[in-house]
Amino acid sequence: MPTILVLNNYSLERVWGEVKRGEKPNHHLFGIDYFYKKGYEVKIIPFQSSRMFQFIQRYCSKTKLPIPMGDLDQQCSALRLLNQADLIYAPCQTQTHLLCYLRAMGLIKTPIVCLAHHLLVMGGRLDAIRMPFYKLFIRGCSAFPSLSKLVAGEINTLAYPADKSRVVQWGPDVDYYKYAPSIGRKIVAAGRTGRDFDTFGFAASNSRVETVIICPQHSVSVEFSKFGNNVQVISGEQEEHISYKKLYDYYSDARAIAIPLHDQVSLAGLASLMDAIGMGKPVIMTRSPFIDLDIEALGIGKWIMPGDLRGWHDAIQWFEDHEEESLIMGVRARKLADQGLNSASFANQIMDIFERILKR
């Protein structure tokens, strides 16, 4: 039975427990709960195990070390377990830089698969220094699949040979969302990263539509005090201030799910899009070059240009005024999940990569 070591940027052991208790959909595990079906044993590296390495990590972050090193704590734990591993899987690309450098130099042999969420080259002043390390990082990966065509293209531009990355389609946990077609009453926007709640809130305030914004406290700006009475804001001190089950209740009452973004350099909003598809709800979303699913071409939502106050207002009002069309869009969204855009299909794509690598 092949053994897979897993490193991630949040505790997968915690999330796996939440999934088993029915508190969170399983797509946040990025496939690991399906691996047993093809005979893989999963060993999750502890998220935090060494205070010394965590201190070194914080020091490197503060000093802006020009060499990307990944998560030193987890990688050192992984090194101690390499003789028990057939492959290393990192659902987040930020964790395994040191391991990939060592593999690129021939110092370790264990295959490494990283899942890319965002661009490696971010356009900062240190990119010229970091470029050789980006290329070494990619070379050390056995495969570097991506959740975005744009990101996969960048990896393949930097890689040699140039086919290191291919797109894998992430999808929601169809069993978690107890789907039943419903119209819903509100427009709901929730999220933690890269959200343009200001533009969305003002657009909603200028409509007559009941609207809910769910966000951490640090996302609440002074502009929120100017929103209309039809805009309800639910915020908290912690990033995970609201349980997934509670969020599920708000989404259940949604006419459409809104994903307003100001971040155009990452896959911000993709998790919320998966929620909408799983729930069978239409989407209003800021257009992003990183999101491959064309919600308008698929007939499941409306794109809005970044910062387009009028566009948001008109879309919000459209969903308020078109109940039947909204319902049909939601049915189409859920159909995508039922026909293959789901967490089981994603896991199979990842395991196909594992099988190709382990057969070499």
Domain shared by 145 and 82, yes or no: yes
Domain shared by 33 and 53, yes or no: yes
The total of structural domains in the chain comes to 2
Q: What is the CB-side half-sphere exposure of residue 328 using CA atoms within 13 A?
A: 6
Domain shared by 143 and 113, yes or no: yes
- Residue 304: the pLDDT is 97
Q: pLDDT digits over 90-107, tens only?
A: 999 999 999 999 999 999
Q: pLDDT digits over 229-276, tens only?
A: 999 999 876 445 578 889 999 999 999 999 999 967 789 999 999 999
**Count of Cβ atoms closer than 10 Å to residue 332 Cβ:** 17
- Residue 37: the pLDDT is 94
Q: What are the two backbone dihedrals, phi and then psi, of residue 89, each rounded to the nearest 5 degrees?
A: -125, 125
Q: Using pLDDT thresholds of 50, 70 and 90, give the confidence band for residue 126.
A: confident
Q: Using pLDDT thresholds of 50, 70 and 90, give the confidence band for residue 62.
A: low
Q: pLDDT digits over 156-188, tens only?
A: 999 987 789 999 999 999 999 988 888 899 999
Domain shared by 352 and 329, yes or no: no
Q: Which DSSP string corresponds to 229-287? A: TTEEEEEESSTT-S-HHHHHHHHHTEEEEEE-B---SS-TTHHHHHHHHHHT--EEEE-
By residue range, what is the domain housing residue 142? 3-171+342-358
Domain shared by 80 and 144, yes or no: yes
| 104 within some domain | yes
What's the pTM?
0.93
Selection from 201, 185, 190, 209 nearest residue 316 by Cα: 209
Q: In the structure encoding, which two tokens stand for residue 269, read together?
A: 């909003």
Domain shared by 125 and 235, yes or no: no
Instruction: Look at 124 and 334; give whichever has higher pLDDT.
Output: 334
Domain shared by 304 and 164, yes or no: no
Q: pLDDT digits over 15-59, tens only?
A: 999 999 999 999 999 999 999 999 999 999 987 666 665 666 665
- Residue 168: the pLDDT is 98
Q: What Cα–Cα distance (Å) separates residue 81 from each residue in 45, 76, 102, 105, 143?
A: 9, 9, 15, 19, 21
Beta-carbon contacts of 118 under 8 Å, excluding residues fewer than 6 positions away, are: 93, 148, 151, 265, 266, 267, 290
Q: What's the CATH number where 41 sits?
A: 3.40.50.2000
| 164 within some domain | yes
Instruction: Look at 219 and 55; give whichever has higher pLDDT.
Output: 219
Q: What is the largest CA-CA distance in the chain?
A: 63
Q: Using pLDDT thresholds of 50, 70 and 90, give the confidence band for residue 64.
A: low
